[in-house]
A and B are shown apart, each in its own frame.
Chain A
Amino acid sequence: MKRVGLVVGLVAGLMLGACLRPAEERAVRDAKVGLGEGGGLSLVVEGGLASVRGVAPGEVVLWGNAPVFTARATLDADARPDWLVTVRNAMPDAQLVAELEDGGEVLAVEPVAQVVPTVKMWRVALRAGAVARLRVAPPGWDSSAPFRFAALADVQEALPRVGDIYARLTRDDSLRFILFAGDLTENGTREQLMEFQERLEAGSRIPLYATLGNHETFTGDAREYTSLVGRGSQSFVFQGVRFTVVDSSNGTLDPIVEEQLEGWLEASRQGTHVVAMHVPPQDPVGLRGGGFANRGESAALVGKLARAGVDLTLYGHIHSYYSFTNAGIPAFISGGGGAIPETFDGVGRHYLAVDVSADEGLREVSLIRVD
């Protein structure tokens, strides 16, 4: 009896601990995204902005989760130098630039034509025993030209119909990529995530960069998401605009993510900064309370974002469209990917078309209906 009580007590204690930091394991796991080894090649994607789907002798496959990323490739002295680098979910006009870390010598890169616009492939002549930096980016990635992207979230069980949204997105040639604020799938299983990616490649001419939602955590605390898509919390810069996504799928930010966020906020204090996450810190319908678990934490977060000069916040989780402000920052909830819709809101499936500029900040946000 006493032993049973002890076991029950231990389980209760562990559960209490888990409730305090439910996102800790995911935050720790994030640090392993973008690491891969095989065939004498050691690969480290900076910032975890792409997940390594496979490294075999002479072949690397990555799933990009940012329009621009750099990988550091260390080749063993006795490894083969010719490698085929494939990046799925890449910008359609992405190019690969490879150069040696020591001396900056540019290595030979030969593109291999692909049918799918977001799948890019290159043959690269690496140098045995040397470290090379591989940068995948579209032309003009470091300019400050204004651009447009789409904001979308919450596809979940509407995955079989998601092609409608991609078809609508395709009608707008100016969209560069989709920023997805979580809940790609219903349960976050490997099969569902694979289907999501297959449908994306089949239907969309632009890539989709995501953070996870609470539905991805339903299976193995989002291990499959981490493996197939990438980090839940990350930050990248495109054409002078910083994009930061953080894992808020438990209605909180883990202290590890909070610390990372502070770094990203500091790095972009003077520039244009878009922050996205799945669960909004504050639900504009307060009686519903679909935001963070602690209102003090949510106020602390949006206050911090506001003081750091964040220009726009984008959220999902709530299956409708809301335009509001949090701590004075323009905020949008756009959970229009097709999951059980909020009724009586007159919105339905939708996404946002967002115009931003490095110099002007947020220029315009448009609601685009799909149905």
Chain B
Amino acid sequence: MAMLSGLAPRAKVVSGMLLGAWISLAPRAWAQEVESTRPSAFDLLSRGPELGGTDLPRDLPGRVTVGPAKRVTGWEAGAAAGADVPLSLPVPPPAVPGPSSEPLSPLARREEFRVLPAAVSVVPGLLFHGLAPLVAGDGPTAGRLFAMEGTGLGLIALGGVPIVLTGASRRTIAPLYAVTLAGFSVFGVSALASLYSVVSPTFDPGVPAASLPPLELEMGYQYVSDTSFDYDHFVTLGGRARLDTMTLEATARFAPDEGNTQVRLGGAYRLLGAPARRLGGSDGSSLDAELFGLFHRFPTEGFTVGGGEVGLRGRYAMARVSPALAGSFAEASIGMALQGYSYMGPVDDGNLHEQLLFTFGYGVWLGRGGPLRGEAMLYYDHRKDGFAGGLRTFGGGVVGNFGLRGRVLLDERWGVAAEMQAGGALVGRLSLIYALDGDA
């Protein structure tokens, strides 16, 4: 029973902290409904050109012109395909009919928050993904989200039913699993897109950073609440170098009191899309090939794991799906890891363990072309070898973990990154970022 009093409170403390944060933040969110009728000083400042905001009402086609110029395509009337033009050039009228006769005032109101579509986007919108935009009068977006949801459910059935019927056969599990997870990702993205589509009219959407620093260094703190491990406090270090189409990354997590150490090194090569340093002119969509190595030492538990992983990571600007989703993106990755375990003491194991890597998420770009640049993303991560592990569920350990992460450069030098994960463990991380040779 000593175990009860020693370990359970630790998890409860973190749950309590999360709960407290949620409760304390929630009223401010509810207050938006009232505040939207009268812009605050912060609203005016954040929407102003000082922070890259626009003086133009968001309902005008020109609202997406802030920031980098965009390479227009053939469908854009009046512009030659492939020509570099600022997005302030004429573009097709928005698919969503909206009031375009608002006065062109810097203090022009955003569209007011509408309770009904927002409520519908949760219940029953999380089941019927196009319903909320439909209620909001955005038929084209509704149609696309219904189509995405149907595709997701179809993929889930296409992969999931054979998994059940074959008893998760070792011969067929890999492709079937990939199809099923792809289905969940499309389904999840359409659900979150539905939520975003009804709240996005109330704020000016962010845009991908026109440029990012060639080198970022970060240092921070990580807390892990896991009843299976003694560690909890970590120092985190990281670095990210952007070299044209290559991005190199290194992260280290170290528990000073317990000794647990994780080091991850690798990089990504951009196969499609603008290089990370020069996103100006692109909508932020990309496809990367990734290669990473992992070393993780568990001194208390007496083993070390090492291995490599390879995968593909894609990001898709959701404005391509619907103008109502401008400022948001969907991201997914798939890959495989091969790992070996080395045990301390007279224990021998020559096994090589493979792992399916899969993530999907829905994110938003932060900043609108000014020095403030970043992104935030809600995601699912299928991997089970991280600090969060997978959810400990009725079905064993099949499901991975969920998380929310954000990374933002506040000016040309400094930024912050934060992440929360919930799986079999709760993980929270906060880092300070220092950018070298930033050229916003």
Interface residues of A (CB under 8 A from B): 1-2, 5-6, 9-10, 12-14, 16-17, 19-24, 28, 214, 217-218, 249-256, 258-259, 279, 282, 285-297, 299-300, 302-304, 306-307, 317-320, 324-328, 340-345
Closest to B175 in A: A287
Q: Which 10 A-B pairs have the closest CB atoms?
A: A251-B397, A294-B389, A293-B397, A300-B301, A286-B354, A342-B167, A293-B390, A13-B19, A251-B396, A306-B347
A9 engages B22 (CB within 8 Å): yes
Q: Which residue of A lies closest to B260 (CB)?
A: A296
Verify if B170 is at the interface (C-beta below 8 Å from A). yes
Q: Given A20-B424, A300-B303, A340-B164, does the pair A293, B170 have CB atoms closer than 8 Å?
A: no
Cβ-closest chain A residue relative to B172: A344
Interface assignment of B3: CB less than 8 Å from any CB of chain A: yes
Q: How far is the CB of A131 from chain B (nearest CB, A)?
A: 25
- Is B385's beta carbon under 8 Å from chain A? yes
Question: How many angstroms between the C-alpha atoms of A27 and B18 in the bound complex?
Answer: 27
| Total A-B contacts with CB atoms under 8 angstroms apart | 243
Which residue of chain B is the closest to A217 with respect to CB atoms?
A: B394
Which chain B residues numbered 10 to 28 have a C-beta less than 8 Å away from chain A? Answer: 11-12, 14-16, 18-19, 22-23, 26-27
Q: Are B349 and A255 closer than 8 Å at their CB atoms?
A: no
Whole-angstrom CA separation of A279 from B343 in the bound complex: 22
Return chain B residues, CB-CB under 8 Å to A252: 228, 392, 397, 424
* B44 contacts A by Cβ under 8 Å: no
Would you give the shortest CB distance from B162 to chain A, in whole angstroms?
10
* Contact of B426 with A by CB under 8 A: yes
The distance in angstroms between the C-alpha atoms of A23 and B397, with both chains bound, is 13
Contacts of A259 in B (CB 8 A): 3
B305 within 8 A of A: yes
B residues 336-390 touching A (CB-CB < 8 Å): 336, 339, 341, 343-349, 351, 353-356, 382, 384-385, 389-390
Contact A21 B8 (CB under 8 A): yes
Question: What A residues does B347 contact at CB under 8 A?
Answer: 303, 306-307, 327-328
Task: Report which of B22, B298, B346, B384 forms a contact with A300, defined as CB distance below 8 A.
Answer: B298
How many whole Å from A99's CB to the nearest CB in chain B? Answer: 32
Check A20–B225 contact: CB distance below 8 A: yes
Q: Is B287 an interface residue (CB 8 A)?
A: no
Task: Give Cα distance in the complex from A22 to B394, angstroms.
Answer: 9
B396 A249 Cβ-Cβ under 8 A: yes
Take A2-B27, A214-B396, A251-B396 as given contacts and tell me if A296 and B173 are in contact as well, using a CB distance cutoff of 8 Å.
Answer: no
A13-B15, A218-B394, A292-B397 given as contacts; is B227 within 8 A of A285 (CB)?
A: no
Flag if A293 contacts B384 (CB, 8 Å): yes
Which B residues are CB-close (under 8 A) to A6?
Answer: 23
Query: What's the Cα separation between A80 and B390 when bound, in Å?
Result: 55
* Of the residues A19, A20, A307, A320, contact of B346 by C-beta under 8 Å: A307
Say yes or no: A293-B354 contact (C-beta < 8 A), given A328-B349, A341-B167.
no
Q: Which residues of A contact B349 (CB under 8 A)?
A: 302, 306, 325-328
Cα A299 to Cα B296 in complex, Å, equals 12
> Would B396 and A296 count as touching, CB distance under 8 A?
no
> How close is B351's CB to chain A, nearest CB, in angstroms?
7
Q: Does B229 contact A (CB under 8 A)?
A: yes
Q: Is the CB of B170 within 8 A of A345?
A: yes
B398 within 8 A of A: yes
Extra contacts, 11 of them, besides A10-B19, A19-B424, A293-B390 (Cβ < 8 A), are A20-B11, A252-B397, A253-B228, A285-B170, A291-B396, A296-B301, A303-B347, A307-B345, A307-B347, A318-B168, A345-B170
B389→A303 contact, CB < 8 A: no
Bound together, the chains give a CA A265 to CA B390 distance in angstroms of: 27
Complex CA–CA separation, A306 to B214 (angstroms): 47
Residue of B nearest to A5 (CB): B26
Q: B387: nearest residue on chain A (CB-CB)?
A: A296
Q: What would be 23 A-B contacts, judged by CB atoms less than 8 Å apart?
A: A5-B27, A13-B18, A16-B422, A21-B7, A24-B4, A28-B4, A217-B394, A218-B394, A254-B227, A255-B3, A256-B3, A256-B4, A287-B173, A288-B356, A295-B339, A297-B228, A300-B229, A303-B345, A307-B345, A326-B349, A327-B348, A340-B164, A343-B171
Residues of B within 8 A of A307 (CB): 302, 343, 345-347
Chain A CB within 8 A of B99 CB: no
* Residue interface bits B301-318, CB-to-A below 8 A is 1, else 0: 111010000000000000
CB pair A288–B394 under 8 Å, yes or no, is: no
Q: Are A294 and B394 in contact (CB under 8 A)?
A: no
